[in-house]
């Protein structure tokens, strides 16, 4: 098949114009976010382009053939950001909402609850499910993203790219099945597959691929009931003194629990060592020999240091194959980088200098945060190796968790380090607060002199499978006259918007899944201008004003959708007003005629 059509841009322009052709190689998170935002911006600016996404995997296949090898956890704050962008992750994709984690070291077990209700994490399958899960209705995250880009107008080609060449300003892309096309812009989002990285190295540009190391993932099938009984809505994190291991985690999802090991060059021997450790074994039923029970396993690579020059004229790389996040939130990094590359291409241009000026700063910011992350992990490694430091950490966390309203210095630091809910910069800033070190030193001393506290592990689990807050039919989610500091995005159900005039309720609108409300509070200090009431059971994500404004500062295009919505609401109000004025006028004319008669 030859995908080159007559619709080629006139001169291989270094701007995207009507008729430009774009190839995205790799339809994982980075490729899909890039595609979505590129097509969205082109639509807003009325630029008609052709975009092909080449993807080697079929996300309908179980096991490694249809999966992008990942722990599959995303923070609720990322879910909120995406919802604000109009990307609502369906309920069936989120296998479990996780609201606590159990930290295991050789010195004990401590449960850390989410520091804030809206700081939970979601567990998902990237593919359609582990090997052996055939016939089960799993919903894959990557497939959801792929369908989203298809709905936006992308042409999906499920074939592996085997060659990219450049002639003049254009690139030719060839797949192993013989499909061939010529493009003005090539976006590389191929992850860390060495053969695919070679495609770009072979172009003899200044691009150098990222540094990587080997990790491990496997899935244990226990059945949904057993998973709920053993893990509830908690993930387990293991900080054990085993060389080369940074940390390991057990993440419950549906019928399975995913085991992830991160560190340096993980091999079979290290896997065996950690699976045989009492800390891990004790999480499973005693009759289980877990070292023999993981039919679905892999040793995927992870990005340890960003690529050099992941762009050139008409070419940009993003996600794992360029710059990602150290040990966590790779999906979030793919979103930031994918969107930054798309905004650069549409709003500025596709030359090397455009990407250098407008895309590279996002990568540099990720690189800098990873540098700070390495410092955080130096500290966690020191703690891993010292029994008395580990005792101090356990004691401090247990104390913080025992009393509601306690300042949770250590709990917040640990939660954000292992869940990806905040950048490493914020974590480091938290550790330089005066209370942190004073408290830590006191707890180390107290732990050494045996002033222990009860372990908090084993508390009853709350069922928070879904993210967001649940409101019952008739609940007022927002009340007119109240001070507001967040925006709401509806995940399910519907609400009515009412203006209260004395004892009268004036109906303004009905809002449904995907709609948002409360946005005026983001821009004004005024109180809420209307009441929003649930028409049935409603689940809504709340997006904190500070978080959203910080994101808008980094990426002003975040505000497009909000402005678009506000503008369409003003238009609707104008229409309503002119209808009311029209009917007033007709009534007035009618009354005038009657008077004259
Ligand atoms: C052990 C482990 C655990 C992790 N856990 C988490 C986690 O819990 N949360 C999180 O946010 N991140 C996690 N990550 C990181 C996360 O997986 C990555 O950062 C993220 O997947 C990067 O997305 P991407 O689109 O850049 O690459 P990928 O997800 O790797 O996608 C690349 C895509 O390109 C396709 N492709 C490759 N070559 C070709 C070709 N030649 N032709 C056509 N298609 C091609 C592939 O099939 C694939 O679909 C984890 C990583 C590892 C290794």
Query: Is the confidence at residue 71, as pLDDT, over 90?
Result: no
How far, in Å, from the CA of 304 to the mean position of ligand 1? Answer: 14
d(CA 323, CA 401): 36
Sheet-wide strand order for 531-534: 476-478, 531-534, 495-501, 504-511
Same domain, 545 and 411: no
Higher pLDDT, 585 or 298: 298
Burial class (CB in 10 A: 0-12, 13-18, 19+), 426: middle
* Structural domain count of the chain: 4
How far does the centroid of ligand 1 lie from the alpha carbon of residue 320, in Å?
A: 6
Q: Do 140 and 61 reside in the same domain of the chain?
A: yes
Which pLDDT value is given to residue 8?
Answer: 46
Do 486 and 351 sit in the same domain of this protein? no
Which has the higher per-residue pLDDT, 594 or 43?
A: 43
Range 322-335 average pLDDT: 94
Q: How far is the CA of 134 from the centre of ligand 1 (A)?
A: 22
- The count of other CB atoms within 10 Å of the CB of residue 498 is 18
Task: Answer yes or no: is 104 within a domain.
Answer: no
Question: Do 544 and 438 reside in the same domain of the chain?
Answer: no
Cα distance from N-terminal residue to C-terminal residue, the chain: 79
Q: Quick one: 141 and 64 in the same domain?
A: yes
Residues 204 and 317 in one domain: yes
Q: Which of 320, 322, 362, 370 to mutate to test the pocket of ligand 1 (most atoms within 8 A of CB)?
A: 320
Between strands 234-238 and 100-105, the pairing is parallel
Here the tokens at position 526 are: 């005024």
Q: Are residues 485 and 577 in the same domain?
A: no
CA distance 519 to 375: 38
What is residue 33's three-state secondary structure?
helix
Distance 308 CA to ligand 1 centre (A): 19
Residue 250, domain member (yes or no): no
pLDDT at 258: 92
Indicate whether 360 and 423 sit together in one domain: no
Domain CATH for 510? 2.60.120.10
> How is residue 102 written in tokens?
């159990």
Lowest mean pLDDT among 28-42, 60-74, 228-242: 60-74
Distance CA(98)–CA(85), nearest Å, equals 23
Residue 447 confidence class, pLDDT cut points 50, 70, 90: confident
Give the pLDDT of residue 77. 86
Q: How far is the CA of 68 from the centre of ligand 1 (A)?
A: 5
| CA angle at 75 for the pair 510 and 486, rounded to the nearest 5° | 40
| Cross-strand partners of 220 | 257
SS (H, E, C) 565-589: HHHHHHHHHHHHHHHHHHHHHHHHH
Distance, CA of 57 to CA of 26 (rounded, Å): 9
The verdict on 352 and 414 lying in the same domain is no
Full 3-state SS string of 313-353: CCEEECHHHCCCCCCCCHHHHHHHHHHHHHHHHHHHCCCHH
Q: Are 14 and 127 in contact (CB under 8 A)?
A: no
Helix (H, G, I), strand (E, B) or coil at 99: coil
Residues 319 and 433 in one domain: no
Q: Which residues of 240-262 are buried (b: 16+ CB within 10 A; e: fewer)?
A: bebeebbbbbbbbbbbbbbbbbb
- Please check the confidence at residue 365 and state whether its pLDDT lies above 90: yes
CB 200 within 8 A of CB 39: no
Mean pLDDT of 562-583: 81
Out of 36-50, 280-294, 340-354, 360-374, least confident range = 280-294
Helices (H), ranges, 386-526: 387-402, 409-419, 424-431, 434-448, 520-523
**Which two three-digit tokens encode residue 484?**
């507001």
Q: What's the gap in Å between 572 CA and the centre of ligand 1?
A: 43
pLDDT at residue 577, as a whole number: 79
pLDDT at 402: 76
Domain contains 257:
no
For ligand 1, which residues put their CB under 6 angstroms from it?
25-31, 54-57, 68-74, 160-161, 189-191, 193, 196, 215, 217, 260, 300, 302, 319-320, 324, 329-332, 334
Ligand 1: nearest atom to the Cα of 262: 1
- Ligand 1 atom closest to 333 (CA): 19
Q: 43-57: per-residue pLDDT in tens?
A: 999 999 999 999 999
Residue 334 sits in which domain range? 1-69+135-209+308-370
Q: Which of 25, 29, 81, 203 best tests ligand 1's pocket when mutated (most atoms within 8 Å of CB)?
A: 29
* CATH number of the domain residue 24 falls in: 3.50.50.60
Q: Single out the residue of 344, 329, 436, 422 nearest to residue 393, CA to CA.
A: 436
pLDDT above 90 coverage of the chain, percent: 43
Q: What tens digit of pLDDT does each residue of 381-438 get?
A: 888 888 888 888 888 888 887 766 667 888 888 888 888 788 899 899 888 877 788 8
DSSP run (H or E) holding 46: none
The pLDDT mean for the chain works out to 86
Please give the pLDDT value at position 466.
66
- What's the CA-to-centroid distance between 192 and ligand 1, angstroms? 7
Cα-to-centroid distance, 191 and ligand 1 (Å): 5
On whether both 312 and 169 belong to a single domain, the answer is yes
Verify that 151 and 47 share a domain, yes or no.
Answer: yes
Atom of ligand 1 nearest to the CA of 301: 53
Q: What's the pLDDT band for 96 if we cut at 50, 70, 90?
A: confident
Write down the pTM of the prediction: 0.89
Atom of ligand 1 nearest to the CA of 261: 1
> pLDDT per residue over 154-189, tens digit each?
999 999 999 999 998 999 999 999 999 999 999 999
Retrieve residue 165's tokens.
């060449």
Rounded to whole angstroms, the maximal C-alpha distance in the chain is 101
- DSSP-assigned beta bridge partners for residue 321: none
Domain assignment present for residue 216? The answer is no
């Amino acid at each position: 098949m030859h995908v080159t059509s007559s619709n080629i841009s006139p001169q291989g322009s270094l701007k995207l114009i009507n008729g430009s052709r774009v190839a995205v190689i790799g339809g994982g998170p980075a490729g899909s976010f890039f595609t979505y935002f590129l097509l969205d911006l082109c639509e807003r600016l009325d630029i008609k382009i052709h975009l092909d996404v080449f993807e080697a995997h079929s996300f309908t296949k179980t096991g490694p053939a249809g999966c992008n090898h990942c722990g599959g956890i995303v923070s609720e704050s990322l879910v909120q950001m995406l919802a604000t962008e109009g990307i609502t992750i369906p309920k069936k994709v989120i296998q479990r909402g996780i609201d606590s984690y159990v930290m295991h070291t050789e010195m004990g077990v401590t449960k850390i609850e989410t520091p804030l209700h809206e700081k939970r994490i979601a567990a998902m399958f990237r593919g359609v499910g582990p090997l052996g899960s055939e016939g089960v209705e799993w919903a894959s995250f990557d497939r959801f993203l792929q369908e989203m880009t298809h709905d936006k107008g992308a042409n999906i080609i499920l074939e592996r790219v085997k060659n990219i060449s450049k002639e003049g300003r254009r690139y030719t892309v060839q797949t192993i099945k013989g499909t061939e096309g010529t493009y003005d812009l090539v976006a590389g989002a191929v992850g860390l597959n060495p053969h695919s990285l070679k495609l770009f190295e072979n172009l003899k540009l200044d691009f150098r691929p990222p540094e990587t190391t080997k990790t491990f993932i496997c899935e244990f099938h226990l059945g949904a009931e057993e998973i709920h009984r053993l893990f509830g809505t908690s993930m387990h994190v293991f900080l054990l003194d085993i060389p080369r291991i940074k940390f390991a985690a057990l993440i419950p999802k549906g019928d399975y629990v995913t085991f992830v090991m991160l560190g340096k060059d993980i091999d079979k021997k290290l896997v065996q060592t950690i699976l045989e450790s009492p800390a891990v074994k004790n999480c499973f039923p005693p009759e289980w020999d877990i070292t023999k029970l993981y039919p679905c396993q892999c040793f995927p690579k992870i990005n340890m240091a960003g690529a050099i020059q992941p762009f050139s004229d008409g070419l940009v790389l993003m996600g794992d194959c360029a710059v990602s996040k150290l040990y966590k939130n790779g999906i979030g990094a793919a979103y930031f980088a994918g969107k930054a590359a798309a905004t650069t291409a549409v709003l500025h241009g596709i030359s090397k200098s455009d990407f250098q000026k407008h895309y590279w700063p996002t990568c540099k910011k990720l690189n800098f945060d990873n540098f700070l992350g390495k410092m955080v992990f130096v500290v966690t490694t020191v703690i891993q190796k010292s029994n008395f430091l580990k005792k101090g950490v356990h004691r401090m966390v247990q104390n913080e968790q025992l009393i509601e309203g306690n300042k949770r210095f250590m709990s917040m630091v640990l939660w954000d380090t292992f869940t990806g809910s905040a950048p490493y910069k914020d974590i480091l800033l938290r550790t330089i607060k005066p209370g942190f070190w004073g408290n830590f030193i006191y707890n180390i001393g107290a732990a050494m002199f045996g002033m222990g506290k009860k372990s908090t592990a084993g508390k009853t689990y709350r069922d928070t499978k879904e993210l967001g807050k649940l409101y019952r039919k008739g609940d007022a989610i927002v009340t007119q006259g109240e001070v507001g500091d967040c925006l709401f995005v509806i995940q399910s159900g519907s609400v009515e918007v009412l203006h209260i005039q004395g004892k009268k309720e004036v109906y303004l609108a009905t809002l449904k899944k995907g709609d948002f409300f409360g946005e005026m509070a983001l821009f004004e200090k005024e109180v809420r201008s209307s009441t929003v009431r649930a028409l049935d059971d409603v689940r809504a994500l709340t997006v904190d004003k500070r978080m959203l404004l910080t994101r808008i500062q980094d990426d002003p295009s975040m505000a497009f959708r909000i402005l678009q919505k506000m503008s369409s609401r003003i238009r609707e109000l104008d229409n309503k007003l002119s209808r009311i004025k029209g009917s007033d006028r007709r009534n007035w004319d009618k009354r005038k005629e009657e008077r004259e008669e």
